[in-house]
Every structure is written in C-alpha cells, then in structure tokens.
Amino acid sequence: MSFTDAPMAGPRYTPLAMLERLVAFPTESTTSNLALIDFVEDYLRAWGVPATRIPNAAGDKAALFATVGPAGDGGIVLSGHTDVVPVAGQVWTSDPYALRVADGRAFGRGAVDMKGFVATALALVPDFLAAPLAIPIHLFLSYDEEITCLGVVDGIARMGRDLPTPAMAIVGEPTCLAVTDAHKSVVSLRTTVVGQAGHSSRPAAGASAVMAAGELIAELVRMQERLIEEGDPSHRFDPPYSTVHVGVVSGGVARNILAPQCQFLWEFRGLPGRTHEAVMAEFDQFATDVVLRRMRRGAPGAAIETICEVAVPHLSPRPGSPAEVLALRLVDSNRTITVPYATEAGHFQDAGIPTVVCGPGSIDQAHQADEFISLADLDAGERFLRRLAHEISRP
C-alpha cells in the first residue's frame, strides 16, 4: 500500500494547515496546553489512533503519547514540545497566534520552535497508517520545555510500564535537519544569603548579605575563568567551554543599612561530562570556608544556601548509535553537529534510549518577534518524515 492509498477516516491536513491549527493555541509555558492536547487527541481518535494523556500534578497541562503501527516496544519516538515562549514585549507585524504566510515563510509563535515539526508529524499520521510499518512510530508531545524541560519526565518514567519503550528517539528541535548528537546541560540555581542588618557606619557589628553576595559572584567569575582554561576536549562546542552566568541579583534595604538578605539567580551550562554537582560543591566550599566564616564574625546566624531549581541533562555523543545511524541516513549526511541550546533529548538518553536532535528550520528564528519557518524547511521536514516511514516499512 502506498502513502496515497491511506483510507479516509479522519480529517486530513497538510503540514502547513496543521501548523495553522497548532499556532492558534496560545500555549505559552505559563498557561495551559490542554486545548491543544484536546484537539490532537480528537484528531488521532478520528484516525483510530489511541493516545495516552499524561497530566502534570496540577492537572492544567498534559503530555500526550500515541503509537502508529505495530503495538509494543521498539520503534522510533518523534518527540516535540507544545509550549512556546511569551510574546509580551515583542513587536509583531501580525497576530502571533494567527499563522501568516508571506514571502515563502509561515509566521507565528512556535512556527519553528517547535510546532512546525509537531504539525508535520501529525499531518502525516494518515500516511504512517497506510504504510506497512515494520516497527512503530510513537508520537510524544510534551509541555514546559521552554522553562524546565520536565514535561517529558513523567511519560519517560512510564515507558516499560504502561507505555512502550522506544528503541530510539528523534527530538525535532530546529537544527536545519542536521543530526545533533550532543549539547550542553543547563542548570538553574538560586543562592540566598542571610546576613544581619545594622548601620553601615559599623560594618563589623553585622553582616551585609549584599557584600557577601558580591564575593560569591566574584568567585563565579573566577570559576568561569577556570572553566575557560579547562576548555572543550572535543573541540566541537561554541563557546568551547562550560559557562556560568548570573542573571538576577536582588537584596538590601537602603544604602546606609547592612543588607539583611540578598539573592541571586545563576545558571551553569556544562559540557557533556562536566557535572553541575561538582560546580556546586566547589562553590559551596568557597561560600562556607571564606564568605560565611567572615560573615559570622559579626553575625553568628548568617547563612548561605544554594539550591538547584532545574537541571536539564546534557546530550552526550554516542557514535554509531541506532538513532544516529538512522538519522544520518535519512538526511544523506555522514557528520553530526552540536548545538548551543539544551533540549529534552538528555532525558531520553538518561533513560537508556539512543537519541538525536533533528528537526526542520533554524533556531535563529525562534524566541523573537515574527518567528517563522520557511515553507522550504517545512517541506524538507515532511520529506524527512516520509523517508523515515519508508525506511522502516516492510518491502
């Protein structure tokens, strides 16, 4: 049976028409994605494809897992997130939640990151059904990728229990269809410094949390220099080292009062093999041995606490993995790349599922006003998934 022989059962969409439907759902990470999930669930049901909804703890968001083709373990999971970044503060030429097609481009929030990939996979469900697939194609739609990358975790934990375990995963983030086998981790941290208020004319009679935070931030600068010297043994990443960055600092009462509290938010982006636990241990030792010891001379109750709020694992290269071999064959390439951003791929890899990142469009168009995916890239993504279906079909 050819793709064009697929029986009519549910509504048919081109990838562009499906993208129009998906963009119309304003699924910013701070809002619910359930309306989109309802739509996808109804669409799959109309084609006879059962789907498993995986809600979050609050019940206001959900991931969705569905299988096309033979039931059971194995096969390939096509994974994409349904949430998008905010549009607030951006100046758009048109409504960001109404797909606009012009000059060979489709404009809309999430068009490239990453509803373009999700739309293409969904639009091809009838063709996947018509193909004599030898192994299943699983669809996994997640939430909260843009803020925590935790929306896949509950679903992955259920694989091998009440969900099948895929043999490999393709995460369809925009890579211009270059096969990505590695990316850095991203770890979000919060450091809280508790000092003791007092008159600024007598700094030894208390402890300024702001001054202590300044010392800690200066240590992070020194740590960054050490990470630069350590470098990237693989010579594949840009920048070629792990990074630390402080994004927000808040604290203090007035300029003539020793600050009783200060807090700063920072992140660590680590090369594969460089763990955030080691970075935190080094930072905590400096905080305890140097900064806290000095603070407690005038403030015995002083404290410094650093907590890890979100840890997105890195994706490590696995040369010759089934996912890499298949994806390279599908794009007619013999080389992989790295990307500077993090994805959900590390969660799949940590669960023992060989994983690559490969999707249509460029990340350069994401997260900005008038986000777009070119129609040529959307077509290329369709060819990629059609070739996948052909590759895993019986003769």
> Are the C-beta atoms of residues 357 and 171 closer than 8 Å to each other?
yes
> Are the C-beta atoms of residues 118 and 14 closer than 8 Å to each other?
no
List of residues 6+ apart from 317 with CB closer than 8 A: 181, 182, 234, 272, 336
Cα distance from N-terminal residue to C-terminal residue, the chain: 10
Rounded (10°) angle between helices 15-23 and 115-123: 130
Residue 305, H or E segment: strand 303-312
Q: Is the peptide bond before 239 cis (omega within 30 degrees of 0)?
A: yes
List of residues 6+ apart from 390 with CB closer than 8 A: 131
Q: Which of 127, 144, 145, 382 is catalytic?
A: 145
> Are the C-beta atoms of residues 233 and 317 closer than 8 Å to each other?
no
145 as an active site residue: the answer is yes
Residue type, 316: S
Q: Which of 20, 28, 41, 83 is catalytic?
A: 83
83 as an active site residue: the answer is yes
> Are the C-beta atoms of residues 393 and 2 closer than 8 Å to each other?
no
* Distance of alpha carbon 221 from alpha carbon 211, whole angstroms: 15
Site of tokens 């298949």: 326
Rounded (10°) angle between helices 115-123 and 34-46: 20
CA-to-CA separations, 326 to 127, 166, 278, 356, in angstroms, rounded: 20, 14, 35, 10
* Distance of alpha carbon 96 from alpha carbon 370, whole angstroms: 7
Here the tokens at position 220 are 């992070």
Helices assigned H by DSSP within 150-208: 153-158
Q: Which residues are catalytic?
A: 83, 145
